[in-house]
Structure 1
Amino acid sequence: MHQNVYLPAEFLSKIESILPKHLKMDDFISACQRPLRKSIRVNTLKSSISDFMTLAKAKGWHIEQIPWCKDGFWVDLDEEQTPLGSTAEHLSGLFYIQEASSMIPVSALFSDSTKLQSVLDMAAAPGSKTTQIAALMGNKGVLIANEYSASRVKALHANIERCGIRNTALSNFDGEVFGSWLPEAFDAVLIDAPCSGEGTVRKDDSALKNWSLKSIQSIADTQKKLIESAFHALKPGGTLVYSTCTLSLEENQFVCRHLKDKFADSVEFESLSHLFPGASESVTDEGFLHVFPQVYDSEGFFVAKLKKVASIEKSDSPKTKLGTFPFIKANHKQHTEITHSLKDSLGVTLPDDSTLWLRDRDVWLFPQSLEPFLAKFRFSRMGVKIAESHKNGYRWQHQVATALVTGNEGKIIDISVHEAREWVMGRDIRPEGVLGKGEVIIRYNNGILGLGKWVGSRIKNGLPRELVKDKHVF
C-alpha cells in the first residue's frame, strides 16, 4: 500500500465538491493510496503487437490490453531481478514505459483516422506522447516536439532516438510563441499542459506538497495563454487536444471554456464519449474526459478534443530571429554517393520521404515535410545524424541503427544474451562460429542494439559513450 501519500484536507474538500455523483470519496482516497499498475506501450515503429505478445508470454509476463490504446498494455511481472526499464527490449526501443491514462490524449488526437502531415506537441518532454504520435504517423510527415525546460530536452531527444523516430524536430521555446510565429501551420496540436499534478499522487506521494488554490489559479492563467497559442497555430479544420494530469475544474473545463468564450463559433467541442468502451463513465456534459483514479485504476487525468471550424486572425505576428542556417542540402551527386555507400556498407535503404543535408563533415536526414518550416522557425535539433564523412568514405552513426534499420538487412549479426550484456557495457564481442568483415548491425532478441565493425575475429563496439551501461542489465 501507498499509505503515506499526502492529501491536504483542503484538496480533499475541493475534490468532494466536484466528484461526480456516481463516484465515492472513500474510493477516491483508496485509489490514491494504491501504487499504480505497470503499463507499457508497444513501439509499433519497431515491433508488432503480436510479436510483443509472443515476447511477453515467453518472459512469463501477464499482460492486459488498455481499452483506449490498442498498443498499450498493463503488465504484471517480477522486477526483482530485472526492472522493466533495464530489459533489452526497452533499451532497444521495442516498447515505452508509459502510464496508461497518459495514452488517452494521443488516442483522442487520432480517433477519427485522419492522416496528419504536420503535428505540434507543445509540451513534449520526456517524450511518451511524442513517441506515441510518431508511431501513429508511421514516421511520416513532420512532428514538432517543443519543450520549454532546457534541462528536459536531453531526455526528450534520448527517448526519440531510442524509439527510432526520424520525422521529428525539437524546439526549446515557451509554447506561447507558436500562435504568433507559426500561425495556422499544423493539422493537429497536442498540448499536455503544465499543471498542478493532482492526478499523479499514485506515483509520487509528495506530489501535492506545495498544492494550494492560489497556485492552481496561477497555473490556469498560463494554461489559457498556451491553449490560445495552440489554437492560433492550428489550421482551419484542424484538431486540438488539451490534456492535463490534474483534476481541478480551473485547470481543465474552465480553460477549454475560456477558449470557446474567446473564439465563439470557431471552436467546436468534440465528444469523447465513444473513444473506448467505458468512456461514458468519465465523460462530462461538454464531451470531455475527466478521469478520476478509481474509475479505471489509473492516474487522474483530463482530456478534451476541439476542432478549429474557422480561421482566426492574429493581430501580432512578431518574427523570430533565425540566425544563419548551418545546413546545406545535398546535391544529386552527393545524395547518390551517400545512398549507395550506405546500401553497400550496411544494406540500409534511405526512406523516400526524407532528404539529406550536410553540415561540415556531418550528414543528416531530414523529413521532407520539415522543409517549409526551415525558413520560419529555429529548431534546437532536427532529423537524424546518419554519418560523418572522412577521406575514405563515411563513418555511420548509431542513429542509422535506431531509425533506419528494418530488420531485413543482410548485414545483421544475432548475438547471445551474454554477448548482448557485454555490448551494452561498451565492450567488443567475439560471436562464436561467425566471421565477417566490414560494418555490421547488432541484434539481440529482435531488438537492434547498434553498429559494429569486424576487426579480425571480433566486432568492435560502436555504441555511443552516453548509452554505455556501467553494470549488467537484462
Structure 2
Amino acid sequence: MDSDRSLVLPQAFLDRMKDMLQDDYDAFLQAYDQPRTYGLRVNTAKISCEEFEKIVPFEVKKIPWISNGYFYREDVRPSRCPLYQAGLYYLQEPSAMTPASRIPVEPGEYVLDMCAAPGGKATAVGSALKGAGLLVANDISTTRARALLRNLELFGIPNLFVANEKPEKMVKNFPEFFHKIILDAPCSGEGMFRKEEALARDWTPEKSQELSQIQKQLCLNAADMLQPGGQMLYSTCTFAPAEDEEVISWLLEQRPDLSLISMENYEGFSSGNPAWGNGSPELKKCVRIFPHKMAGEGHFLALLKKEGQSGPTANISKGTKLPADVKKYLEAFFSEIGLNSLGGQPFDWNRVEVRADKVYYLPPVSCSLRGLTFLRNGLYLGDLKKNRFEPSQPLALAFRKDEAEAIISLPVDDPRLERYLKGETLTILPEETVHTKGWHLLCVEGYPLGFGKLVNGTLKNKYPAGWRA
C-alpha cells in the first residue's frame, strides 16, 4: 500500500482527528499505511463454526471479538466458493460485524434493521432468530433493497419482511412493536476511508452536521418502534462526534425512557468520550473502534434499553385458504423430495399463501403491513405451473442439512459444483443419490445449493439464470 496514503486524506479531517486523539494521532495515521483486513461471518443457523472449519477449502483465522467471525487473506476469493453460494457465510469487514454481535437476539423475537442494505447486520440477526419470530429489514433505496433481499434469501432466512420504505412511515405500522432494533445510520463514512478512497474524496467538514440531523430523526423513529424493555443498537462507521456521542446525548435528552447499557467488551475497544457529547459519564458505555487499536476499520456503537416490560406477542399469521389442487401439487413435491422440516422448524400449512401464480410461506408473526412498500413478505416457495409446483431458489436455500431426503451431496472440491453454478447439466453416478429420478437438492458437503431434476443419470439444472456465477 502507498506509504503516502495519509496525503489523500482531507486536511480538515486530519486536523480534527489530531485534536481528538492527541498522543494517539501518529499511531492512528500509521494505520492508513497498513493493509485492510478481510472477514467472513459464518451462518450458524446452517452450520456450526467447528463444522465450517473442517470443510472450508481456504485458510481462515478466528476474529477474536466475533464468535463466528474469521479473517481470510486478500488473495482468496471466497465468493467463488460453493460454500458461499450455499449461504454458509457472509463476507463482511471485521469491524462492521461488531454491531450485530453486540445486541442479544433470541429466537422468537421481533427484530428490525432500519437501514439494512446490503444485509450484513440483517443476515446476522436473521441467522440468530433461527426461523422463529420476525425479521423486518428495511432500506429506503429500491436498488439496495433488492440486493438486501438477495443476501437474506442466500442465507435461507424464511421469517422475513423486506420493506422499501421511509422509516417515519413504518412507525405508524409498528408502534412499540420490536424487541430489538438495529440502526446502522447513514454516515460520513470516515471509518472506511482506508477501504474506500472515494469516501475520503467526497468528504466535507459540513457533511457530519447535515447527517447528524438525519441520524437524530432516525433515532426518534427507532425509539417509537421499540417495545418497553427492548434494546436498540445505534452504530456508524465514522469518527465524527457530531454523528456519534452528540447524537446519543441528544437522543437520551429527548427520550428519558432510554438509557445506555454496557456491551460485551474486547481489549481493543475504546470507550465513548463524554467530552464529545453532553458530558454525561454514561457515554463511556459507548464503544469506538479505531484502526490503530484493532484489526479492522473505524466504527462507533451505542446499545440502549427502553424502560418497562415487553408486552404480549402478536397473533400467529395465517395465509389465505389454499385451494385443494394447490395443496395437492405442493404435497406431491414435498413428498418427492422427502421434506422433514424447513429452516429448522416444522412446516405449517396455515402459513402458505398464493398470490397470482406464486406461492409464499408467511412469517410466523402477524402484523399490520397496510400501506407499506415491500419486496417480500415471508419465503418465496415457488411457482404454480400447469398441474404442478416448480420450487424456487430461495426455498432450496431455506433447507438446512438433512431436512430433505432426495439429495445429491458432492464434496466442496468437486468440479461439477462449479458447472452447476454456471447452469450446466451434470452426470450423477447411481451411488451418489438415494432416488433414481425426479426432483433433488444438489448439496455441497450436505448443504443445499439448489434444485435439479434427475433423469437417467443426468441432473437437469434448475439453478436460476439470475443466480448463476
From 304, 307, 310, the counterpart of 1:306? 304
C-alpha distance in 1 between matches for 2:253 and 2:108: 27
Amino acid at match of 1:297: A
Please give the residue correspondences for 1:72-91 in structure 2 after superposition, counting only pairs within 5 Å: 72-76=69-73, 78-79=75-76, 83-91=77-85
C-alpha deviations, 1:63-99, integer Å up to 9, x for none?
Answer: 12331x21111223742xxx12111111221111111
User: Counterpart in 2 of 1:409?
Assistant: 404
- Structure 2 vs 1, CA of residues 338 and 256 (structure 1 numbering), >3 Å: closer, same or farther? farther
Question: Does the alignment pair 1:356 with 2:352?
Answer: yes
What is residue 430 of structure 1 aligned with on the other side? 427
Q: Cα offset for 1:169?
A: 0.8
CA pair 353-60 structure 1, distance change in 2 beyond 3 A = closer
Answer yes or no: is the 8 Å Cα contact 2:269–2:288 preserved in 1: no
Letter in 1 for 2:321: A
Shift of 1:139: 2.1
Which residue does 1:318 correspond to in 2? none
Task: Quote the residue 1:254 is aligned against.
Answer: 246
CA contact (8 A) 2:289 2:300 kept: yes
Contact 2:173 2:369 in 1 (8 A): no
Partners of 2:41 and 2:331 in 1: how far apart?
Answer: 35
Match of 1:341 among 305, 325, 332: 332
Shift of 1:333: 5.3
Q: CA deviation at 1:408?
A: 4.3
C-alpha displacement at 1:379, in angstroms? Answer: 2.5
SS of residue matched to 1:148: coil
Offset, 1:2: 4.5
Partner of 1:320: none
Q: Which residue of 2 aligns with 1:322?
A: none
- Partner-residue secondary structure (3-state), 1:296: coil
Distance 1:464 1:29, change over 3 A: same
TM-score normalised according to structure 2 size: 0.88
- C-alpha distance in 1, partners of 2:134/2:191? 31
Q: Quote the offset at 1:378 in angstroms.
A: 4.4
Distance in 2 (alpha carbons) for counterparts of 1:78 and 1:7? 26
User: For 1:199, what is the secondary structure of its paired residue?
Assistant: helix
Residue 182 (structure 2) aligned to one of 155, 177, 190: 190
Code of the aligned partner of 2:53: M
| Matches of 1:60 and 1:452, distance apart in 2 | 27
Aligned partners of 1:182 and 1:376 also within 8 Å: no
Structure 2 gaps of 5+ residues are 274-280, 310-317
1:367 aligned to 2:359? no
Query: How much does 1:281 deviate?
Result: 3.7
Q: SS of the counterpart of 1:298? A: coil
> What is aligned with 2:258?
267
Secondary structure (helix, strand or coil) at the match of 2:214 reads helix
Distance 1:66 1:167, change over 3 A: farther
Q: Give the residue type in structure 1 aligned to 2:293.
A: V
Query: Match of 2:388?
Result: 393
Q: Does residue 48 of structure 1 match 2:45?
A: no
In the TM superposition, 1:155-304 aligns within 5 A as 155-264=147-256, 266-272=257-263, 275-278=264-267, 281-284=270-273, 285=281, 286=283, 287-304=285-302
Question: What is the CA distance between 1:336 and its match in structure 2?
Answer: 5.7
Q: Does 1:138 align with 2:130?
A: yes
Greater mean alpha carbon deviation, residues 406-415 or residues 330-339: 330-339
Match of 1:105 in 2: 99
Q: Distance in 1 between matches of 2:106 and 2:51?
A: 26
Deviations 1:116-168 (A, max 9, x none): 51111000000010000011111211111000111111211111111111111
1:197 and 1:334 mapped to 2: Cα distance? 53
Q: Which amino acid aligns with 1:89?
A: L
Change (3 A) 1:338 1:247: farther
Distance in structure 2 (CA, Å) of the matches to 1:176 and 1:223 = 12
Question: Which position in structure 2 is the counterpart of 1:457?
Answer: 457
Return the offset for 1:343: 2.8
Match of 1:28 in 2: 28
Aligned residue in 1 for 2:313? none
CA change 1:8–1:378 in 2 (3 A) is: closer
State the number of aligned residues: 440
State the distance in 2 between where 1:269 and 1:253 align.
12
Q: Which of 85, 89, 96 is 2:90 aligned to?
A: 96
SS at match of 2:198: coil
Using the TM superposition, name which of 37-46 and 124-133 deviates more: 37-46
Between the aligned residues of both structures, percent identity stands at 28
Change (3 A) 1:181 1:408: closer
Give the conservation status (yes or no) of the 8 Å contact 2:158–2:363.
yes
Contact 1:62–1:77 under 8 Å retained in 2: no
One-letter amino acid of the counterpart of residue 427, structure 1: E
Q: Partners of 1:353 and 1:420 in 2: how far apart?
A: 29
Gaps of 5+ in 1: 312-326, 470-474
State the one-letter code of the partner of 2:404. E
* Structure 2 CA distance for aligned equivalents of residues 88 and 138 of structure 1: 22
Match of 1:319 in 2: none
SS at match of 2:242: coil
Letter in 2 for 1:277: Y
Q: Is the 8 A contact 1:195 1:246 kept in 2?
A: yes
The corresponding residue for 1:126 is 118
Per-residue CA distance 1:39-75 (angstroms, 9 max, x = gap):
110011221110111124xx351412331x2111122
- Tell me the residue number matched to 2:277: none
8 Å contact 1:178–1:230 — kept in the other structure? no
Would you say the 8 A contact 2:229–2:305 is kept in 1? yes
Distance across 1 between alignment mates of 2:209 and 2:108: 34
Question: Distance in 1 between the 2:180 and 2:460 partners?
Answer: 44
Query: Cα RMSD (Å) of the superposition?
Result: 2.3
Counterpart residue number, 2:315: none
Q: CA deviation at 1:375?
A: 4.6
Sort the Cα spacing of 1:402 and 1:308 in 2 relative to 1 into closer, same or farther, 3 A: same
The AA in structure 2 aligned to 1:203 is K
In the superposition, relative to structure 1, how do residues 2 and 243 fare at CA in structure 2: closer, same or farther (>3 Å)? farther
